[in-house]
Structure 1
Amino acid sequence: MIRYPDTLGDDIVTARQRANLTQEELADRTGLSVRSIRNLESARVTQPRPATVRLLRDVLGLPAHPAPSARIRPMQLPLDIPGFIGRAAQLTQLDRLLDRGPRRMSTVVVSVLSGRPGIGKTALALHWAHRRAVRFADGVLHVHLRGSDPAKPAVTPSEALGCLIEALDVPGVVPSGLAARAGLYRSALAGRRMLLMLDDARDADQVRPLLPGAPGCMVVVTSRDRLTSLIAGEAAHPVVVDELTADEAWELLRIRLGAHRLTAEREAAQKIVTDCAGVPRALAVAAAHAATQPRLPLAELAW
């Protein structure tokens, strides 16, 4: 199968807009379906048939052999959580936001994952981002903002922008002022399709300077705060992260400890599930204690 450049969808969008064509008009001229055009532009289809590409190139005047991009494609996501459990509704919600944008929306798509400490906001964001990273042709950026870290100060917007500008491999000296950094950062993102993950945000003021200014990007923010002013002012989409169900909590323990150990001490395991109240971090800590002490009865952890 022919491997086309990751920027093919971007190239089609740029050429179509330059030709002042809608997706429907391009479909009519090429004989392709509107759905096919949308799938290519949004990178839902990354391996189109050669005949499809030839039709688009003939109509839009795209080069037969585009020059390879010299851009670095950052992929800064930390490790995905092995044995991720649950969150089907939230994953679907994020997928729907992605399917509506970024290319099909006129603004940047921003989502805010909020919930209590230890509820799994970061794990959810990372799991979804790893699953969908291929949809972002220019890469994925990640910043840990330390908004709730009692041992370290929160990352300032200026510090975060400096890290993002370096990750984007922008040539020249990084300016010192917040406004100058924000302007350079947004200029560097213009025309790119990227995912930006802002983890553990303290408040909306910490997030606002880091939002891209042009469509094409999606931002996923995690925070203990609901960031209501960001939802009101920037039309961010709230995604509530709540407790795991009892069945999901049991499955998390099963993956970490094995079915035999749980069934051998079912009453104690059920007490652990109940006491942890659907909080993934509490379940993970209990499982870690049990896993590092394989001869320890679960009843000693539960009572």
Structure 2
Amino acid sequence: MNDIRNGQDLGVLLRDHRRRAGLTQRHLADLTTVSVRAIRNLEQGKVLSPRLDTIRLLADGLRLGSAQRETLLEAARRRLGTADHSAEGGCGPTPWLVRSPLIGRDTEVDALTALLAQPDGRLVSVVGIGGVGKSHLAAEAVRRVAA
């Protein structure tokens, strides 16, 4: 069987496991708290950053053995870009995917970067109404601090 070490994708692995178990997407959804739509989107590769909790639920529903389960989780981590980077000495990428540059928020990024770079700082809250770009701002600040 091709596995993640040979470049197999998360969606392909999930679909293959589901079919081998003799389950439809609906049956798998009934066994887990994951929707049919989410399962379909994962299998089709439409989900760029899958939640590891979702993958664990699916692995439980499929009753995967430990090796198969870890292979599926590793495929999800690879999709997320959150594989263990501790051996490389880096802190790894941000936990979410940012596709576009942050424009016109230099003052906010500089302020947040300064707060994050303080050695005695433990927590920084970024607050505001929904949809104004808080996550994008935080991701850019974390990227700059990590660099």
**Scaled by the length of structure 2, what TM-score is found?**
0.40
Greater percentage in strand: 1
Greater percentage in helix: 2
**Scaled by the length of structure 1, what TM-score is found?**
0.20
Computing the radius of gyration over CA atoms, which structure comes out larger, 1 or 2?
Answer: 1
